A = this chain, B = another copy of it.
Amino acid sequence: MQWPKYVQLKEVGPRDGLQNEKRWIPTADKVAWINKLSDSGVKEIEYSSFVHPKWIPALSDAREVGRQIKRNPDVFYSALVPNLKGLQHALETGIDGASVFMSASETHNRKNINKSIADTFPVLGQVVHEAKQANKRVTGYVSTVFYCPFEGKITPEQVVRVCEKLFEYGADEISLGDTIGSAVPSQVEQLLEAILSRFPEDKIIMHFHNTRGMAIANIMRSLQYGVSRFDSSVGGLGGCPYAPGAAGNVATNDVLYLLHGLGIDTGIQENKIQEAAFFIQDKLKKELPSKSLAYAVSGRGI
């Protein structure tokens, strides 16, 4: 079995992880937490979202967070931006990269962005253009790449079509999201066959949710295809908006257990990620879903 020797993780806990949390995390705690993450060896952190606070109140302090975090020169800091105004705020605040987002599913896109896919393209095209003008790296998040809670199965061709357009606009890379954590490894295989025959593997990031416990197996399958970039969230923070109580993003802690166990280098120190997970678990006052974290909490370490 073959896999990459080095894998780069993007820590999305401060954005994707926190965005659905009901409990308000004070700005100072977010900053302290992101600073801990910055010190873990992780190379990229999505620190917040510049979506209007009405839609994501949990992250309404994106500007304060972005201004107050201690920037580690070895870390790439990105933020989610929905439109030109969000990009403007993000640029003023300070970002290395901007992430735009849309869905591979027409209905999910309409529910999430309030526009058809066709009407979303020019808006994102403008944002990508402006971000590139400002010399920022641009990531395109494509959600529901396997299954849409409204439409059902999404074909690899639907995903390819959206990716093509985003790359055409100038996106540097695309993160493919299993938003509701529905995929099994055979579906990952089908999607990656289609995607990697069109786009270079170093431009593709896989973003798995662990809603049914399949994320680690799906990452394993992606590694076998040569994919070496993944999004993950410390402690497995991040609920599934369609299923309160169910698991969200795959836990950085568990991904590290897999990768380091396979002998893959990440540059990340597991104990620092565990500490960052303890920290935010304590602030949120709830147990996070990471299995490795639960095991460590039980007092045996990892």
**Which residues of A come within 8 Å of B, CB atoms?**
1, 149, 181, 183-187, 189, 210-214, 216-217, 219-221, 240, 242-247, 251, 254, 257-258, 261-263, 289-292, 294-295, 297-300, 302
Contact = CB atoms under 8 A, between A and B. Distances in A.
Given A213-B251, A220-B220, A294 B246 contact: yes
B247 A187 contact: no
B220 A294 contact: no
A302 B149 CA distance: 11
A219 to B, nearest CB: 8
Contact of A243 (B183, B186, B245, B300): B300
A186 B3 CA distance: 11
B246 A298 contact: yes
B211 A291 contact: yes
A300 B212 contact: no
Nearest to A299: B243
Contact of A213 (B183, B212, B290): B290
B212 A292 contact: yes
Contacts of A263: 186
Contact of A1 (B185, B251, B298): B185
Report, nearest first, the 10 A-B pairs whose CB atoms are least far apart: A184-B261, A213-B291, A243-B298, A217-B217, A213-B254, A246-B295, A216-B217, A212-B292, A217-B220, A245-B298
